[in-house]
Structure 1
Amino acid sequence: MNNAACINLENVSDEKTQSSATPLEQGSNEHTPCLSTDSSLSTQALSNSFGIVNQRFFQGKITGSIIWQVPKGMVSINKGTPCYTLNGSTEELIFEQATLAIKQGQVDKALALLTPFADKGHPDSELLVCHILKRQHGDWQSYAKAYNDHFITEMMAPAACYYPDTQTIAIHPHLHRRGAPMFVLRYLIYHECCHQIIESSESEPHPPLFMEYEAKAPFKEKALAWLSKEGFPTL
């Protein structure tokens, strides 16, 4: 962990943060709900919001810059149907008996054991039932579709990202075009600031320590709800 900065982990309620926030622009009022549609003013609002979040939660120790830019890279989001998990040792034993029956060539026995699990949405059972029925020239397509539906993914651009090599936070311009509420912007800035002080990797971009810090983000639940409604991937 980089000790150059630390986060104030005190719980700050949305109401407190909103009432004590420094105005984003000269002459603006705190009740203005959205970013300005003027590009120069919105860029200033972005910089001002970064300064506010940096001072309030990070004691001004976050370095770097913030820009409007489509984040590089894509996030894979699972859009699939829920999977059924075997419930307890009894069902696990039945599944083991079914796989053993397949190895022994007792496909009818295996099919009888696996079908109830497959019908509940257990992926491994769906796949095995699909193969059995396909070999028997049965109605295997429905199980194949059910299995595949669990693993539908969609590649999406995140709402924001942090580039450690340049210490730059990129905020997706779609937020500007959609008139994102200021609490969304400040949540994203807080989240990306956390990346500067918490070590992470591509395989684990949000380790437990990161999530502990990120849980204190201002307006988190409201911001995530707005982002989800707009189609952005969320944690």
Structure 2
Amino acid sequence: MTARDAPCILLVEDDAETREAVSRVLADEGYRVVGVERGEAGTRALKAGAIAAVILDVTLPDASGFDLCRDWRAAGVRVPVLMLTARTDVSSRVRGLDAGADDYLGKPFALSELRARLRALLRRGSDPLRQRVLSVGDLSIDFGRRQAWLGEAEIPLTRREIDVLERLAWARGHAVSREDLLEEIWGESTPEAAASLEVIIARLRRKLEKGDKESLIRTVRGFGYALAGARGGPTT
């Protein structure tokens, strides 16, 4: 793989020491890195295209990382976002996920963990099994394009919401345990990750419900979740 072919990571971090350390480690891993210190510059870099993933600090001189991520998602940006922040309480993690972040890493962090989380985000996005379309009643999900529709209306979904839906879809109507969802999508089975999963499930139900029909996501008490009507699984 040539340098031009290497995934390009956008790093939005105002602390110069952190930005330089992370950029150096990612460059050693073979990534191209675009490092900026302000949210406005990050938005311009995203609009320029060819960004594989974003590492976004929550506290920036000109913007909140939460607001930036929310604005990007509202504008249709589907690039995976890993948030960095000194705020490690559950409410801040949930706020980041609600804003559309795909993962959340508290400061201080080990660079090895940052690399592992970034690899997981990129791996989930490049898996060839994700080039599939699922239809359940009025719901259609294109996992390759990372888009979903309910009837004719497109549903705005974050990358993590798509990941959860896809994992349930591949179970073909069978229940998937909470532990499996946490390990496969979050990479950890911690109370914080479990709280994030609950938020994602509740948010998906709100987005996917239509009238008084039964929810597409069924809770299997004491075990996990299943996607109703997905017995055939995604198809090409």
Q: Please, what TM-score do these two structures have when normalized by structure 2?
A: 0.31
The structure with the larger Rg is 1
Structure-1-length-normalised TM-score? 0.31
Higher normalized helix content (fraction of residues): 1
Higher relative contact order (CA 8 A, sep 6+): 1
